[in-house]
Amino acid sequence: MGPSWSSFVGSSIVGEPVPRDHQQSDAEFRRRRWVAALTLVIGSGLLGWSLRLPPGDPLFYLATALLAGCWVVGALLSGPLHLGYIRRHRSIRQHSADGLVRPWFAALLLGLTVVTLFVLGALVVRQVPPLRAAVNAVLDHARLGSFAVVAVIAVVNGLAEELFFRGALFAAIGRRQPVLVSTAVYTLTTVTSGNAMLVFAALVLGLLVALQRRMTGGLLAPMITHLTWSLGMLFLLPPILG
C-alpha cells in the first residue's frame, strides 16, 4: 500500500476533525437524548429477535424491515443530521472555497480495506469449527432465503444503522468520548443476537465508522464504509466458508 492510499484512508479516521458548527440548545439536546434512548431499547429488541429467527423463516424479512424503520424513524425524530466533510487531498481535482469536500473516495477505500482484513480473517476462521459455525449462522439467512432480498436488507439496514448510531446516538452522547461510548453501545446492542462473531464484527466496524464520524462531522463516510463492508461480506464470505 503506497503513501497515497494511507493518506486517503488515514485522513478520514485520524487527525484534527474538520471545523463545523452543530450546536443545539439544551432543550433540543435533551430531546435528542430521550429519543435516542427509546429508539435504542426498541431497536435492540428487534435486532435480537431478527437474528434469532431460524434461516429461511419469512418472519426474518418482517423483523429486519421493522428494525430498519426503527433506526430511521428514531434518527430523524432526534434532530438534525449532517453528511460531513473531509479536507481536500492534494491529488483530487476538486475545488471548494474552504478546502473541504465530501469523503466519498476515502470512505470507499477504508471500506475495501476492512473487507480485505475480514476476508483474511475468514481464512483463519474457517479452520476453527465453532467460529465458522457462528459466521455461517448469519450467512445462512442468505443461503436459505432470497439472496436478492437479503442483499437489499444489508443495504437498507446498513444505512439505517449509520443514521441512528453515528447520527442520532453519536450526537446525543455529547462531547465526552462519543467514539468510545457509541462503539460500546453499538457492540453491546449486537449481544442480543447471541452470536460472538457478530459482536466482534460490530466492535471493529463500529470503532472505525465512529472515528470517521468524529473526523468528518457527518454520516456520509460511515455509510459508504458500512455498505462496502456489508456487501463485501455477503458476497465473499459464503464461498470462503463453504
Cell numbers standing for residue 70: 426503527
Report pLDDT digits (tens) over 14-23: 667 777 766 7
Containing structural domain, residue 61: 23-241
Would residue 10 count as lying in a domain? no
Report pLDDT digits (tens) over 130-160: 999 989 888 888 888 788 898 999 999 999 9
Would residue 53 count as lying in a domain? yes
Report pLDDT digits (tens) over 37-96: 999 999 999 998 998 888 888 899 999 999 999 999 999 999 999 998 887 765 444 445
Would residue 29 count as lying in a domain? yes
Which residue carries 477504508 as its cell?
110
End-to-end CA distance of the chain: 30
Would residue 182 count as lying in a domain? yes
Would residue 4 count as lying in a domain? no
Would residue 38 count as lying in a domain? yes
Burial bucket for residue 196 (CB in 10 Å: 0-12, 13-18, 19+): middle
Q: How many CB atoms are located within 10 Å of the residue 80 CB? A: 12
Residue 24 phi, psi (nearest 5): -130, 155
Would residue 90 count as lying in a domain? yes
Looking at the structure of the chain, the number of domains it has is: 1
Would residue 222 count as lying in a domain? yes
Phi-psi region of 31 (alpha: psi -120 to 50; beta: other; left: phi over 0): alpha
Q: How many CB atoms are located within 10 Å of the residue 186 CB? A: 23
